[in-house]
Structure 1
C-alpha cells in the first residue's frame, strides 16, 4: 500500500484479506429528523464492539423532503469528531462529502482536523452531488459539477501534501503566502469517489484511492468490479447495501431500494458471493426496529461467518 494511504482508517478497512463491513449512520434509522445523539453514540460503540470495521456518515447539506431523507442530520465533520471521541479504533468514513458544494480549503481543514483528532481514522468518500435544488442554493452551476469535482480533488491533494502551496481554481487561488493546516496524519486522507461522480472510470482509477459504489445487481456488479480491476489494479472497491433482517433466518429475499429484506442464512450466502466477486468493503444500512439487536445478529451470523 502506498505511503499516502497509510492512515489507520484505510488500513482497518482494506488491509485484511477478504470482505470487511461498516455500518451507516443513522444507526437508529431516524433519517427524516434529528436522531437521538445518545442512542447513535451507544450504537456506534456497540457496532465497534461486535466487529464492524467502519462507521460511515453521509453529507446532506440541506433537507429536501422530495428526496426522502435528511441523512444523519448533523454536519458530517463535527459529527464524526464526536463519534471519534466515543470509539477507539474503528474507521470513520464519509459517504459522501459533496465536494461541489463545499469550498475545498474548508474541506481540507475540517477533514484533517477529524483525521488528527481520531488518530488517523478518517477515510473520505467524495461525491459530485445529486439533489438538484442544492446547486442554486449554493450558487453552483450543476453543469459544472464534473469540472468542479476534479478541481477540488486536486486542491485537497495539494494542500495536504505541500506547505505554502501555489494553486488556482474556480474556488480561488493560493500564491505561496498561506499554508492550510492542520496536515493529515499521513501524506493524504484517502479519497474514494462515489458512484461515477461525473467522471470516467479511468479518471477515478487514477485519482482515487478506491471506488465507493451503490448497490448493484450481482451480474452488473461483477462487470463493474472486473472493469475496475482492469483500470485500478488492487485499489479497493466498496459498496453500500440496505439490510433488513427477517425474523425467519431462512427467509428468501425481498427486494428493497438499494438492498434486501431476507433471513441471515441468505445474507451469509449473498455477502460471501460479494467477497468472491472481489468487493473489499460493504457499508451496511441495517433498518430493523431494534437496531442494537440487529447489529449484534448481523455481526454474529454474517460477519463472523464470513
Structure 2
C-alpha cells in the first residue's frame, strides 16, 4: 500500500516528535515587493550543505502592487525544476501552490515531473488563494475558490493514483487516457495551507499535513493539540505533521530578545535557538524561515543559522509541554 511516509521529500522534511528547519526563496533580504533573485543557486546549495531540510517555493501568479509581495518571481514549476537540477538531497517544498487557479491535470503532470526529476523530493503545500485580483484574470470566481480547491484536490490525487483513472467531475472529464509520469514513491505529500476555506475536520481527514502561520505560542500550542486530536480521530496511528513559516531578522547580537516583526521576529541567534526549541516542545515539526525583512546579507545569516542554530536543533531531545 502506498504511504506518504515512503516519500523521499516527506522523510527529509518531517520526523515524528522532532523539528526540522527550511528556508524560503528568495534567500535574500530586500525592501519592497520585488527581490533581486541574485546568487540563489549558490545559496540553495549552501543551505543544503548546512543541513537545512527544505527549500520552499512560493506561487504568486501575478504582480499585485497593492499586496506588496511577489515571492521568488519565477513560475514555481519552472523554478522547482531548475533548483532540483542544482541540488541533491534537500526537500523541495511549495508554500503554496494555488489549487483553485489551475486545472487538476496540469497540476498532476507538473508535480509528478518535478518529483521524478528530483528523485522524489517534492512536498506540496497547497492553498485556495487569497489575492482577489488574480481570480478574474484566470476566469475563476473568487467566491468559488473553496469548492474548486476541494475538487482539484480529489481530481489531482485520482489522476496520479492509477494508470488510467476515470474521473468525471465538474473540473475534469478523463477516461481512456492517463497522466505520466507518476510520482517516484507513488504519492506526493499534500499539506493544506491555513484553512484554504475547508473545515479542520476535512483537513485532518484528507491532508497529509498542515501548514500554518506563526501565532502566539499559547494559541499555537492549543491549535497543535487540536490538530493531533483531529488526526487521531480521522486517521488513527498516521503521522500528519504540523509545519509553519517564520520571518526572521537575525541581528549581530546573539542574545537579543525577540521583537515582533511581520509574521516573525527580530532576534539574536541564541534566542532563535530558544524559540525553535520551544516550537518543537509544543509539537511543531518544521519551520520554514523567510529572510525578507532582514538587515544583514542573507548569505551571512544563512551561515550563522546553519553553523550556530541548526546543530542545537538536530541534537535536541524533545520534551513536550502541555497546553
TM range (shorter): over 0.9
- Aligned residue for 1:221? 220
On the 8 A contact 1:5/1:188 being kept in 2, the answer is: no
1:216-247, Cα deviation, whole Å (9 max, x unpaired): 11111001100000011331000000011111
> 2:249 pairs with 231, 244, 248, which one?
244
- Alignment pair present for 1:181 and 2:188: no
Distance in 1 of aligned mates of 2:305 and 2:216: 21
1:128-148, Cα deviation, whole Å (9 max, x unpaired): 000011111111111111111
- Alignment pair present for 1:295 and 2:294: no
Measured at CA, do residues 51 and 16 of structure 1 come closer, stay the same or move farther in structure 2, by a change above 3 Å?
A: farther
Give secondary structure in 2 for the equivalent of 1:304.
helix
Measured at CA, do residues 2 and 273 of structure 1 come closer, stay the same or move farther in structure 2, by a change above 3 Å?
A: farther
1:142-197, Cα deviation, whole Å (9 max, x unpaired): 111111111001011101111211112222311x2111111111221000000000
Residues 19-98 of structure 1: pairs in structure 2 closer than 5 A:
19-30=19-30, 32-33=33-34, 35-36=36-37, 39-98=39-98
Residues 160-175 of structure 1: pairs in structure 2 closer than 5 A:
160-174=160-174
Measured at CA, do residues 252 and 34 of structure 1 come closer, stay the same or move farther in structure 2, by a change above 3 Å?
A: closer
Distance in 1 of aligned mates of 2:172 and 2:254: 55
Distance in 1 of aligned mates of 2:193 and 2:94: 10
On the 8 A contact 2:17/2:283 being kept in 1, the answer is: no
- Alignment pair present for 1:265 and 2:264: no
Quote how far apart the aligned CAs of 1:45 are.
0.2
Quote how far apart the aligned CAs of 1:17 are.
4.6
Distance in 1 of aligned mates of 2:37 and 2:274: 33
Quote how far apart the aligned CAs of 1:29 are.
3.4
On the 8 A contact 1:5/1:189 being kept in 2, the answer is: no
1:14-38, Cα deviation, whole Å (9 max, x unpaired): 136510001000002357336335x
Give unmatched runs, 5+ long, in structure 2: 233-238, 314-323
On the 8 A contact 1:5/1:187 being kept in 2, the answer is: no
Question: Which segment drifts farther, 196-205 or 12-21?
Answer: 12-21
Give secondary structure in 1 for the equivalent of 2:66.
helix
- Aligned residue for 1:141? 141
The aligned length equals 304
Q: TM-score under structure 2 normalisation?
A: 0.91
Distance in 2 of aligned mates of 1:196 and 1:179: 30
On the 8 A contact 2:4/2:188 being kept in 1, the answer is: yes
Give secondary structure in 2 for the equivalent of 1:295.
helix
Q: TM-score under structure 1 normalisation?
A: 0.96
Distance in 2 of aligned mates of 1:301 and 1:2: 38
- Aligned residue for 1:204? 203
Distance in 1 of aligned mates of 2:101 and 2:13: 27
Measured at CA, do residues 140 and 230 of structure 1 come closer, stay the same or move farther in structure 2, by a change above 3 Å?
A: same
- Aligned residue for 2:318? none
> 1:279 pairs with 284, 295, 306, which one?
284
Give secondary structure in 2 for the equivalent of 1:62.
coil
